[in-house]
Amino acid sequence: MLRYGVVPVVEPRVVSPGFNARVYAVVRQVPEGFVTTYGQVAALLGSPRVARHVGFALAALGRTDEPVPWHRVINSQGRISHGDERRARQQRRLLEREGVRFDARERIDLRRFLYSYPDYVMPPPPPEAEPNGRRARRGR
């Protein structure tokens, strides 16, 4: 349980085994020509506080993984937020190819291009884990 002031905040553990797969499932729902934000993905998974972990999950994508449109995830200001200049140029090229437009300040108009996830259903949480990291067995 987290505490801010005197009011306790109860939040389930979001970054747990299977987190990356849940991030990828959410990002795969963003159609061509739209974007989402790291914070929006985190909020859909149950905690807007883990936006940075969404970025970590996308950075961990490998060449052998099922395709994930990583380039459709931007920051909450409508900007590409890669420190790697080559990767940032690639992301911009991919977005522009899909019809996403940038303004003179290098921003995307989120009122126009932000995907709203109209039919979103939160992925189920992973099976409970025991303290030693093994999955708990049910029905025994």
Domain of 57, CATH number, reads 1.10.10.10
131 falls within a domain: no
32 falls within a domain: yes
2 falls within a domain: no
Per-residue pLDDT at 128: 56
N- to C-terminal Cα separation, the chain = 29
Per-residue pLDDT at 84: 87
Contact present, 90 and 71 (Cβ < 8 Å): yes
Low-confidence ranges of the chain (pLDDT < 70): 1-14, 64-65, 123-140
pTM of the model: 0.77
- Count: domains in the chain: 1
Per-residue pLDDT at 83: 80
Residue range of the domain that includes 62: 13-113
How many other C-beta atoms can be found within 10 angstroms of the C-beta atom of residue 4? 7
47 falls within a domain: yes
Question: CA angle, 122 as apex, 64 and 30 as ends, to 5°?
Answer: 55
Per-residue pLDDT at 127: 60
Backbone angles phi, psi at 38, to 5 degrees: -55, -45
